[in-house]
Structure 1
Amino acid sequence: PAPRAAALASAELRAAHPGLTGLTVRPQLVVDALHGAPKLAWRTQTAARDTHGNPVARVVLTDARTGATIDAWDSIETAAGDGQSLYSGTVPLETTLSGSTYQLKDPTRGNTYTGDAQNKTDLCFFGICFVRAPAVLFTDADNHWGTGANGDRATAAVDAQYGTNTTWDYYKNVHGRNGIAGDGKGSYNRVHYGSNYNNAFWDDSCFCMTYGDGDGTTFGPLVALDVAGHEMSHGVTSKTAALTYSGESGGLNEATSDIMGTMVEWYAGNSADQGDYLIGEKIVKPGFGKPALRFMDKPSTDTKSADCWYSGVGNLDVHYSSGVANHFAYLLSEGSGAKVINGVSYNSPTCNGSTVSGIGHEKVGKIWYRALTVYMTSSTNYAAARTATLNAAKDLYGSGSAEQNAVAAAWSAVAVG
């Protein structure tokens, strides 16, 4: 009977998505001719919203005589779309088709999705958020998202979703990591957070990324690719080494995000936002006074970051003590001295007067990731990071290899070891 079919279909959807709201159930008597001899069956469509407000739907086919389940399937479909971004040109997007509406949710990457915070902010006290700004899922009629201009609210969403997708792909395809937490589950993005908000951040408690629009003078919308890779790499660090966010370990935490965010940008191979060793170069405006937030070849270019290790470096703000590891990573990738890469001029010094040769950014990303996930712990300092990366290079390329020797030389060049 119809009530039994409805109950079964409802139970299936609730089991897959706990905490549903607005559940609707529509049984329809049909003739099933696809599964053996034709027979009467109930085709029950269920639909609801999950805990994030996203629509979910499932169809369950049951035998009208026996009540046995014949088949079941999700009725929200995957679709290939595209988006015009602020910073990365036109980019591909995997979306979800629900009825006749496309959702900016990617079922191929753990159902990662992007929502509009509607310029609202979280209500938090002492680091605990009691009310979160919404993440109203972006939808579209034709699966072509954004206009490339900031006046279209979907444009920043395109950048955020593209950043999430590229970061997911980098960690999966290069390091074999399936999602930020390594469990195949997607995160979500909130764009248009607050009013003129000059920041972006990862929050473990919601497993989400949040982006401000910037004030238009210091920063534009903070949805650039390396910013996305940076912030989501904080999530990877949290799920692995859990580097304490203070002292030298805090500097290593920030440097990890700068290094891996840079690797995400290189991995993308996007001609509109080519790989470089500048952090946040796409989001800065003339009012910031510098062409980027941070500079890996010579961190002190920002007038605050450390190029070289010294005994008090852990007393700096973590965004500035990170300079030592950023400098190491640049030297290990590209070597010392003056050069032009993808149209950007660099001139990286060494702290000991040595000349360092690079091994390429791809190897550096692999060495740093292995060091982070296998050897680093919450209290790792610069001396221990040196040991961790030497061990990682040994694992990957062999004891006494050119790569391991280059790691040692690059740390010595920033006065570590």
Structure 2
Amino acid sequence: MPHRGLTTGLAAAAGLAMSLALPAIPASAASPAQPASPDAAAARAADQAVASGLGGLSRGPAEAFRRVGLTAGDAGLFYSAYERTYQGLRVVGGDAVVVADGAGNVRDTSVAQTAPIAVGTQAVLDAAKAASAARAQLPTVDSVSAPEKVVLAGTNPKLAYEVVVTGRTATAPSKLHVFVDAATGAVLDQRDDIKTFSSGAESPAQAQPNAVNAAGTGNSYYVGTVAIDTTGSGSSYSMRDPGRPGISCGREGGSVYSGPDNSWGNGSGTNLETGCVDALFSVQTEWKMLKDWLGRDGISGTGRGYPASVGLNDVNAYWDGSSTHFGHSQDNRRQATSMDVVGHEFGHGIFQTTPGGAGSGNENGGLNESTGDIFGAMTEAYANNAKDRPDYEVGEGVNLVGQGPIRYMYDPSKAGDPNCYSSSIPSTEVHAAAGPQNHWFYLLAEGSNPGGGKPSSPTCNNSSVTGIGIQKAAKIFYNGLLKKTSSWNHKAARKATLQAAIALYPGSCTEFTATKAAWNAVSVPAVSGEPTCTTR
């Protein structure tokens, strides 16, 4: 029978932690004990694990952990995300995830790596000077936030100011988080909320009161005539989804599209309302896929989504941390709103709202870009639309710059991106750095020689990999992602997905073996503490 190693010591320790001393209550006054709901039991166990410093959750005397999220995964597991504080200041980095089941057993932990924190909390640098240093990081600035004093964790933790500068780089919009040393004024780190589709270049809306769900007819450019969920109020309709809070589509810089009837777009690639049909249908499809395949509640994981806008004057598309924006092809004949592109941009929203947030650095950024590509491919596969058949080519329908797809998941080298992980990935441009994980996902889902008209995929170790299907691959990928911390990297993703394969498929080693083989095939090496699965 299959045997697997995960974290048996943690589960046993958590069982002991659940024994609490409670005051005695007279029998006549006691009410029948009600069992805790699975999510409450998991959260309670996770909080106790954090309080006891279990499984690497150690902290200094001036530090504390605060639970900031609880996400249900598959196999009855719940993932509690924690943010670290130091003397009351928010610590950027040093976050943690605790995995527990609905019976109150802790199954695993994941902690962002940081050196011990021992910094003063009095800033030498004036906040206004920090804001000025941050402002200088963009050539065009629209706004600068009030500096917030934080601790920037890592190999050498420092007291810093975090300043958010909104504006533009030379080629693209930017919402740049700048971390300025509170002692010297040096810029320590930068993290941009803007995640673009290509290496080239509003708050969520509320549902309308008294609005009713209306089944609209969308005349799409990419997928034909489709039904889209819109809002109808009296004789007026709008491209706002009443059943998925936050989801809407309108013109860039303008309002949500509305009209006297519930028919939208004309099927033309140059028509912006048609672009919104594609965007709205795609994100509604992605939402359904998240629920049906992964059990996730909306893009945010908490039942919310984000608005989309079309008509961006750019040969690109991007996610800005709270909304999606779609431009057009270089020849200006198509909006960049194909299903894989829309799935990609909202995939950034999923990456941001899973534990660990968006993170920073090129390796983390590459995994973020790959996550967008993977969610785009998953959405296409779920839709299985006859006009836009599922594939693992990114942006082939948009043909953004007249050279076909911008990425090939089955063979990233076709677009000049690396197929294999190496020590150069942390310094590789983020869209190119998506290559290894994209390649891994294709191998896990389809294999190296899938047949049936699907492309073969070269492996970095000349091995042959047998795929397990995209739905199983999606579950393993997503449940691994729920263990993400701010220091997420390929080795951490390997370990987390191997653990997910064991948890999701306890009666089989097939999925685990394929997950491991796919990582080996893209040269992500084994890591200390990763699980095993053997049969007797």
Query: TM-score per shorter chain, which class?
Result: 0.7 to 0.9
TM-superposed CA distance for 1:380, in Å, is 1.8
Shift in CA distance, 168/409, structure 1 to aligned 2, threshold 3 Å = same
Identity between Structure 1 and Structure 2 (%): 39
TM-superposed CA distance for 1:339, in Å, is 3.4
Please, which of 261, 279, 283 is the counterpart of residue 376 of structure 2? 261
Matched, 1:403 2:486: no
Corresponding position of 1:198: 315
TM-superposed CA distance for 1:250, in Å, is 1.7
Native 8 Å contact 2:204 2:307 kept in 1: no
Matched, 1:297 2:405: no
SS at match of 1:193: coil
Shift in CA distance, 53/312, structure 1 to aligned 2, threshold 3 Å = closer
Shift in CA distance, 77/370, structure 1 to aligned 2, threshold 3 Å = same
Write out aligned runs for 1:304-323 (5 A).
Answer: 305-323=417-435
Corresponding position of 2:277: 158
Alignment-mate amino acid for residue 106 of structure 1? D
Write out aligned runs for 1:356-367 (5 A).
Answer: 356-367=465-476
How many Å separate the matches in 2 of 1:54 and 1:405? 45
How many Å separate the matches in 1 of 2:477 and 2:354? 13
Shift in CA distance, 410/208, structure 1 to aligned 2, threshold 3 Å = same
Native 8 Å contact 1:81 1:94 kept in 2: yes
How many Å separate the matches in 1 of 2:487 and 2:424? 16
Shift in CA distance, 94/351, structure 1 to aligned 2, threshold 3 Å = same
TM-superposed CA distance for 1:151, in Å, is 4.3
Matched, 1:81 2:216: yes
- What are the ranges of 5 or more consecutive residues in structure 1 without an aligned counterpart? 1-49, 58-73, 118-132
How many Å separate the matches in 2 of 1:348 and 1:84? 36
TM-superposed CA distance for 1:321, in Å, is 1.3
User: What number of residue pairs does the alignment pair up?
Assistant: 323
Corresponding position of 1:220: 334
C-alpha distance after superposition, 1:344-377 (max 9, x if no partner):
x51211111111110011111110100001x221
TM-superposed CA distance for 1:77, in Å, is 2.1
Please, which of 415, 438, 455 is the counterpart of residue 326 of structure 1? 438
Write out aligned runs for 1:321-400 (5 A).
Answer: 321-337=433-449, 339-341=451-453, 346-373=455-482, 375-398=483-506
Please, which of 240, 243, 255 is the counterpart of residue 108 of structure 1? 243
Native 8 Å contact 2:207 2:242 kept in 1: no
How many Å separate the matches in 1 of 2:429 and 2:506? 36
TM-superposed CA distance for 1:144, in Å, is 1.3
Shift in CA distance, 366/151, structure 1 to aligned 2, threshold 3 Å = same
Shift in CA distance, 300/52, structure 1 to aligned 2, threshold 3 Å = closer
C-alpha distance after superposition, 1:372-398 (max 9, x if no partner):
01x221212111111011001011012
Alignment-mate amino acid for residue 357 of structure 1? T
Q: CA RMSD in A?
A: 2.1
C-alpha distance after superposition, 1:66-119 (max 9, x if no partner):
xxxxxxxx2x222111101111111111111122111111111225211112xx
Native 8 Å contact 1:180 1:235 kept in 2: yes
How many Å separate the matches in 2 of 1:407 and 1:86? 37
TM-superposed CA distance for 1:184, in Å, is 1.6
TM-superposed CA distance for 1:55, in Å, is 8.9
Shift in CA distance, 308/137, structure 1 to aligned 2, threshold 3 Å = same
SS at match of 1:357: coil
C-alpha distance after superposition, 1:325-344 (max 9, x if no partner):
11111111111137354xxx
Corresponding position of 1:126: none
